[in-house]
Each structure stands twice: as structure tokens, then as C-alpha cells.
Amino acid sequence: MIQQRFPKPQESSTAGLLTRLSAEPPDGRLVFGDERVVDFLDTVSRRLLAPTLTRSHPELAALGFFLRRSRLRRLLSDLANRPAEVRVPRGLVFHIPPANVASLLVYPWALSMLAGNANVVRLPTRGSETTEPLLELLCECAEDAAPAVSHSQSVVAYGRDEEVTAALSAACRLRVLWGGDRTVQELRRFQLGPDVRDLAMADRCSLCAISARSWLAASSSEREDVVEGFYNDAYWYGQAACASPLTVCWIGSPAQAEAARRDFSDRLEAVVAKREPRIEPEIAIQKRVATYGLAAEGDVEAIRHVSNALAIVSLAPGRLLDRWSGTGTFGLATFASLLDLVPLITTRHQTMGYFGLSRAELVSFVEALGGRGIDRLVPIGEALAFEPVWDGYDLVHEFSKLVTVR
């Protein structure tokens, strides 16, 4: 049996769930850009932006802004300028979101819903503390949603039941997989139809690059804003989000980089002390084990454990951190030019936050990579801002189908 959590908590069989999702709603099926979906998502947006919720779960404010009616209509209007093609839904989309970022339960689901698809979203067996209040809010909003919305969408929970996963995989027209490399490979065992494929969001890591010259020329208030943004990028999800930076790369001469990184580290230490992020004892222990392990492997030149919430690792030349080493662990590296980073970038690298670098420098960097790694370059402070293009996928395009009409 499946525990359905949205639109209304109840038990259901897999066959019963699929029958409901494929049935004709009393007000007709969803279409691409359906106003009934826009109405529902805008209602969710207004509820998410209520001060009582954003105070306790600030990361949900970003989701609320993303789902605003004006934002959704602007997104749809950008896709409406191809008169020889009609955009239609793909059909049933099966989502398996990650456990560590609750809002990723909603972002891709909302875009797929906006494309007119029926959706089944499987809840992670281990959710975050934000998952339950988010689900409660969604269920409350579903009570007033159009039947076409509530009849075609479902969030479900079930244990390690291979028959359920196999049935949902066989029935879907697109499967969206999030998780570690091993998780993605295990889920790919469940066969899809011959013309169905996966969108896989597997293990990724991220970094940021800062011009040392620009940092030293910036005002104190500008530096404070960047450090605050860096803190949000890194600490909102315990630095475990794929887009959270692991390495800070300083671009410039050794003398400039040393002065800039010392100032940055001091300011970050002050922000961490002020914000007081909660660090579980086992995470603090893991951080020490991981950083000393890096030292034993010859990847670092120095380690400074400021507190349980902050460890600063000076990396050996030619090294980047590419795996999570405990919340608040940051590698520092220096490069004479942004292009010197190119040989170290792999397909595992997703997001690069930046400060003080020109668009021309960033474009040259992307061109030099030739498609090998780095899907997003965003100002520091925007690493976790979800966008319709993610991991190199244009999600609205992936969630819909183009029919040529000449």
C-alpha cells in the first residue's frame, strides 16, 4: 500500500493511484500553462510568504517568490513565441526528490504541473524538518484547488517496496531522479517504457571564485553583504546542497589573495558567531576526521578549526574540495587567473558563485571548459536560488512536448 500525503492523506493501492491520476477530471484535463495550476501555485506562494512561516523556515521564502503568479506568467510568456509549434504535456511524471532539501520536493513538481502533467512525487524516507510543515500547507491549499489540479497530482510515501517503484516507473512518461550516484544507479534498475527517459540529478559539488583585487577595492559594507550571502549559500542546508560552495578560489597575485582571504575569513568567522548555526556533535567530529584525512592525503597545507561550525582549510596547489566534509568546512585556494581553474573542473562541478569578475572573464572561462562541468555561474548569495534551467536541463522544455503544426 501507498500512503498518499497530498492532496489528502489516505491509503491507496498503486493501481488505484494510477487509475485516479489517469481519469478525466470533472473540469477537464490540465493543459500547458493552465490557469488553474497558476491559481493553485500562486495560493501556495502567498501562504509560503506569510511572516510566521518564513521566520521559522526562511528557505521557504525563496520558494514562495518563485511560485508568484507574475513570475509564472513571465516564464510562460518566454515560451510563447514559436507559432509553428504547440507545447503540450508529456503525461505522468514520476519524481524522486532528494532528502536533504525540502523545497526540491516542490520546485520541479511545480514546473511539471505548470506544463500540464500529472505527477507522482515520492517522499524521501528521511525528510528534513521543513518537509512536514510544507506538506501541511500544500494540503490546505489543495482543498480550494480546481479538481483538475487535485485529481492529477499526488505526493506519496512508501518503504523499500520495489513493486511500487517498478509500477510507477513503468507507467510514467518521464522520471526525475535526485540523489547520490549510487541511488541513481539503483533506481535505474526499474525499467521505463522504450520511449521514456530519466532526468538524473546525481552527485554534484560547487565552489566560488572571488577576484582578490575587487575584494580589496570593495567597501566594507559590500564585503559584509557578500559574506552574508556566502553564509546563506553554505549553511541553509548544512552545506549539503549540491549548489553550496565547498571551495573559495581567490583570483589574483599571492599577496593580494592572502590579504583578501584573511579579511574574508575574519568576516565569515564573525557572521558564523552571530548566526550560531546548529551543528550536531557527530557532524563536528566528522569534520575533524575529514579535514585531518585531507591532510594525511597531502591535499592541504594548513587547517584551522575556528569552532564546531567553521573549519578553514588552506588547500595545496592544484586541489579543490569535491566532497562534503561536515557543515562549515571550506577550502581556500589561489589562482593567478580564472582560466587556471579550468584543468581542475570536472563534470561533478555544478555551480560557481562569483564576486568581482567581469562577464567577459566568466564567458571566457565557460568557453574554455567546453561543456565539461559548471552549469551555473551566479553572484555569491544566489547559489541556492532555484531556476527553470537546472543541472543543464531546461526543465519546462523537458516536462513538455513540442508538436509541429505548419
Compute the distance between CA of residue 233 and CA of residue 226 in angstroms, rounded to an integer: 10
**Intrachain domains 2-203+391-404 and 205-379 with the same fold:** no
List the Cα angle 83/78/91 in 5-degree steps: 75
Helix axes 107-114, 59-66, angle to 10 degrees: 10
Query: Cα separations (Å) of 249 from 173, 174, 211, 274?
Result: 41, 38, 9, 24
> Amino acid identity, residue 156?
V
- Per-residue DSSP letter, 380: T
**Nearest to 47, CA basis, from 28, 70, 65, 32:** 65
Query: Cα separations (Å) of 99 from 109, 128, 177, 178, 192?
Result: 15, 7, 12, 9, 23
For residue 391, the tally of other CB atoms under 10 A from its CB is 17
Task: State residue 21's pLDDT score.
Answer: 95
Compute the distance between CA of residue 290 and CA of residue 295 in angstroms, rounded to an integer: 9
Task: State residue 293's pLDDT score.
Answer: 92
Sorted by where each begins, the domain ranges of the chain are 2-203+391-404, 205-379
Residue numbers of the chain with a pLDDT score lower than 70: 81-83, 127
For residue 150, the tally of other CB atoms under 10 A from its CB is 20
Pairing of strands 153-157, 2-6: antiparallel
In CATH, the number for domain 205-379 is: 3.40.309.10
Compute the distance between CA of residue 297 and CA of residue 321 in angstroms, rounded to an integer: 12
- In order, the DSSP letters of 288-324 are HHHHHHHHHTT-EEEEEEEETTEEEEEEPTT----S-
Domain 2-203+391-404 architecture: 3-Layer(aba) Sandwich (3.40)
